[in-house]
Structure 1
């Protein structure tokens, strides 16, 4: 499927990367088709939504909105469905991408270096947990970054999220704990941490999303790392 039309995201790089990843990840169920029929794309998104909500609300919201549209039986071509889903998360996406302008690669590397100086190991590889874009293991201070985030142009946002968790580990002296931040995540991000039944996990993720969705998310993450990881 070729997407050339401009969208609410400003370009289709994020969407194209996501669809490419879906094709690869679910090749057995989708088949090697140059064009995926709408109903099968909807099924793939429904499957993906169960696994890919941990770090990136802009992608997860796209998936959920797409599935919602399919569920009520409206017939759209693939791109029309996705374009409608995009419009629902335009505000969230704008905020999440703000910290990656103009040079996300430099910011990612800068943050990676800062984490490593604080004793964390940043590994660019598939995380141990299937479907995660980023994962921090507090026991040995290892942070995994899924390589697909660079295709999706959300590498810096992924590392910002995990940097907040790194600061939480430092604050708890090796046992992750909340930082007591006085900022709130934007409303669009709430579904992506409120589904956790464990209250502690929900609070930890709430702080990470609160930082991730701030216009100055990069600077804030660096500040928290420096404050709590001596």
Structure 2
């Protein structure tokens, strides 16, 4: 009788072990399956991240190229507008596209104003300064030819000097260091300043009263006001 009980107990224990093994195997399969699924999701997310980064990089390159194209186009339009405005300015000196204030002349990238009254050299400097400008200095051939074409008589230039000098041909002034000179005579504190008279530059006492020329940088030409200025019938606004 006891042997039958012992056998039954042993069989029951072995049966319990098999069930435990089956349960363990089932849990292991579930864990493996879950891990495989999650690994698959992680790989998909990684692939999505890499694809997203690639798309962002391509978009940044596209935006950079687009920005360069827009910038180049803007520069081209500005150049076209400036050239067109020059032509309009030749026909109508006070055309609305002109990048200089009214009564100022426009040449290349600068504006010039000829005074209609007389002042000492120092007061001429003050007057120009109040206009956000300075007395004219001739620093290149283009400006030289522009000024010579005006055939000016006795206009102050930005040429202060401490000593009297003989007159010189206007063409020589663009290679002269006098544009950067501002010295005083220590003996009598007298100062001589340069002025233009036709084709020559003379030096006179800075307290004399002469007319003068102011210059300042021109504003950029407005593309819209220029490109829309020409009307189909050939007239200009």
Does the alignment reach a TM-score above 0.5? Answer: no
**Higher strand residue share:** 2
- Higher RCO, Cα 8 Å, sep 6+: 2
TM-score (norm 1): 0.20
TM-score (norm 2): 0.19
**Higher helix residue share:** 1
Q: Whose radius of gyration is greater, 1 or 2? A: 2
